[in-house]
Copies of this chain bind each other. A is one copy, B any other.
Amino acid sequence: MEAALKAIAEPRRRAILRLIWDRELPAGEIASQFDVTRPAISQHLRVLREADLIDERREGTRRYYRTRPDTMAALRRFMENMWDESLERLKFAAEFEEAKQKRASGSPEDRKRRIH
């Protein structure tokens, strides 16, 4: 997951992912779409593969690549969870503040305890 996040942070790798989302393509065809050398793309493909973001299929001398929908879905869920968990915490914090208002107003020590 960590590897996937760093992988999609790179614009070129996102472009590759979009290129091979709905169809598998051999490495050479992928490289021909960009203005960098073929080894550069090969190294990007390695990063994507180690992050489980693409599949590799070898056929003869060619290697076909294709985006893995399951890992992309997991990435999407990760963002949603980060969002949802935070909403939970926001809600909890609001309730906590409310309860605190009903108690006697806080001593100076209260602020220290809220932090950390």
Chain A residues packing against B (C-beta within 8 Å)? 2, 5-6, 8-9, 11, 14, 18, 21-23, 25, 29, 32-33, 67, 69, 72-73, 75-76, 79-80, 82-83, 86, 89-90, 92-93, 114-116
Contacts and interface: CB of A to CB of B under 8 A. Distances in A.
Given A5-B9, A8-B5, A83 B89 contact: no
Copies in the complex: 2
Contacts of A9: 5-6, 9
Given A80-B76, A83-B72, A86-B72, A11 B2 contact: yes
B25 A90 contact: no
Given A5-B8, A11-B2, A79-B76, A86 B116 contact: no
